[in-house]
């Protein structure tokens, strides 16, 4: 690629647009993964545990607090 093209404002602008699109894509994926994990946890808590806390959580907390 010629140095004239690399230094041109068009090239700089296109590069900036690509970077912005990448950042938006990453943010969208992170948002969707957060929502997915929250929904999984909510389903487990409401349907499997029926609103109760899991017993292993109490054991983990007790052992962590005793250290």
Intervals of the chain under pLDDT 70: 1-3, 5-6, 57, 60-61, 67
Beta carbons of 47 and 41 less than 8 angstroms apart: no
pLDDT of residue 6: 65
pLDDT of residue 20: 98
Exposure letters 17-36 (e unless 16+ CB within 10 A, then b): eeeeeeeeeeeeeeeeeeee
Q: Is 34 helix (H, G, I), strand (E, B) or coil?
A: helix
pLDDT of residue 47: 86
Beta carbons of 5 and 11 less than 8 angstroms apart: yes
In the chain, where the domains are located: 3-66
Regarding pTM above 0.75, the answer is: no
Paired tokens of 17 = 């647009």
């Amino acid at each position: 690629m010629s140095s004239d093209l690399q230094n041109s404002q068009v090239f700089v602008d296109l590069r900036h647009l690509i970077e912005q699109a990448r950042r938006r894509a990453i943010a969208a994926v992170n948002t969707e993964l957060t929502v997915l994990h929250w929904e999984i946890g909510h389903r487990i808590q409401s349907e499997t545990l029926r609103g109760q806390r899991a017993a292993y959580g109490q054991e983990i907390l007790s052992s962590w607090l005793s250290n």
